[in-house]
Amino acid sequence: MSFHHPEFLWLLALPLGWGFWQWVRRGHAVALPFDHGAQGEGRVPRFMIHLAGTLPAVILAVAVLMLAGPRRPAPPSDERVLNNILICIDVSGSMGVPFGSGGTRFEAAVEAARSFCEFRKGDAFGLTVFGSEYIHWVPPTAELSAVSNAMNYVRPDNMPGWMGGTLIGNALRGCRDQLVRIGEGDRAVVLISDGQSGDFSNGGDRAVAEELAKDDIRVFGILIGDGTGAAGLDTVSATTGGRTFVAGDPGALDEIFREIDRMQKANFKPSTAEWVDYHEPFAIAGVSALLLYSITLLGLRYTPW
């Protein structure tokens, strides 16, 4: 235990002096009107009266201690290590192909990603869209509504014509540039696409994988459809400690995101202990001393006649 304002503790000299004076001062003796009586010395009553007279000093001492601001360390707790996860979604024209009943590949991917973000509250999510180029739509943020609302406006049919290709390696390098600026927490990319990358040939996949692994960025790939292009993306995810999944139907997307959640676990570390106010025992002691002193005033005192 410690105090917020230890400079006030010197005031404890006042109740200590008061209490000492109560026991040593003279002038308490009272001569009772008995002739030829063998009266006792009254040591026990005298002790009790002195003790009662010391209670105001005790009350003052408690007031000084509370003025000094008693505090103690809060119980230890674990602090969550932030996961910075970039959702990287393909917005090329093929993502507008119907997928399942009543929706497109893009819509199914967005809905599953939105549910994943809501389930992982406490992490920071960002949104990047890519085709032939990439656009960092939302930087990693713990404000999930920013990512969720952005997904309502990012659609393949809203993209310019020069976004029509599929360059996964280029997009992953862009995600790496975004994530390395973040100095705190783990970093991961969840990339969703439906096509084969045009920049993974001639060792391009291996080069991208090594760059990401060097910066401790895990990649989880989700290929929608028949899994075309899985080889290159699988090289990247395996090298970085992630995994590539193939989703043949909308229902598989939810299961894939649950598996990613199990692999990208939330980590915790002991947090630094904080100091909290600790007035309760002093308040109880002060109130108890005050009540006891009030009771002693009913009769436990020297009778001044």
Token digits of residue 215: 């910066």
Nearest by Cα to 221 from 210, 207, 205:
205
Structure confidence by residue, pLDDT tens digits, 59-114:
999 999 988 888 887 765 555 567 888 999 998 888 888 887 778 888 888 888 88
Under 8 Å between Cβ of 145 and 138: no
d(CA 147, CA 119): 13
Token digits of residue 103: 């929706």
Structure confidence by residue, pLDDT tens digits, 23-57:
887 765 555 556 555 656 667 877 888 888 888 89
Q: Would you say the pTM of this structure is higher than 0.85?
A: no
**Residue 256 to residues 220, 224, 248: CA-CA distances in angstroms?**
10, 11, 11
CATH class of 79-269: alpha beta
Residue 305 pLDDT grade (very low, low, confident, very high; cuts 50, 70, 90): very low
Least confident of 27-41, 117-131, 197-211: 27-41
Residue 156 pLDDT grade (very low, low, confident, very high; cuts 50, 70, 90): confident
What's the pLDDT score for residue 267?
59
Q: Is 18 exposed, middle or buried (0-12, 13-18, 19+ CB in 10 A)?
A: middle
Structure confidence by residue, pLDDT tens digits, 219-260:
999 998 877 666 788 899 999 999 999 888 888 888 888 888
d(CA 46, CA 50): 6
Domain ranges of the chain: 2-74+273-296, 79-269
Residue 149 pLDDT grade (very low, low, confident, very high; cuts 50, 70, 90): confident
